[in-house]
Amino acid sequence: MKRICLLGAAIASLFIIGATTALASAPHAVTKATKKKSKPAGTKLTCSLAFSLQVPADDTTVTQGATTGNHAGAVTCPTKGVGKGVEADSFTTDDAGDLVGKWQEWFNAGGVYGDYILTPTDNNGPPSATSFAAASYTGTFTIKNGTGVDAKATGEGTITCTTQDSVHYSCKESGRITLPAATTTTKKS
């Protein structure tokens, strides 16, 4: 009787081992991870700029195609809460021919500032209707900080510019601006 019980226990354990092996080798239900599309940080910012090369402090005229200098003019951003303002920048031309500089834009309740780089996109001679001073640029800008309601602003984007005379420029900015969450303070009674 003892042998039959031991034989029954051995057979039962073989069934258990076989069943667990079969379960382990069977394909499990595949769970598909769902990716949530993350929304880029910040508010979409689209602006138009119209500015001019400024007369240097030690000169009496504007020099077309200057390799260093300053621009100033108007900026319009239809983004809610931004609006119209003024823009100023300083630039230098690096060894590759890119315009590299710092910019500032001031609006009713605050302003933003940062860096930019513009690369010439047309290196050919002019068609018969334009001069050698006509140019197009594409590049990027970075928002480093701000003032007023735009304090601690960050962001980045792209910028495209055109000029017919290397003095008057028309540009479009497109990017995102992020402002820190507003904090509230409560008075202690």
Instruction: Please write the tens of the pLDDT for every residue from 9-62.
Output: 444 444 444 444 444 454 545 555 555 556 567 889 899 999 999 988 888 887
pLDDT of residue 80: 73
pLDDT the model gives residue 88 = 96
3-state helix, strand, coil in the chain (%, to 5): 15, 45, 40
Q: What is the model's pLDDT at position 74? A: 97
pLDDT of amino acid 99: 93
Structure tokens at 184: 């509230």
pLDDT of the residue at 12: 46
Contact criterion met (CB below 8 Å) for 120 and 134 = no
Rg (CA), the chain: 32
Nearest alpha carbon to residue 137 among 72, 43, 49, 45: 49
Within the chain, which residues score under 70 in pLDDT? 1-40, 81, 123-132, 182-189
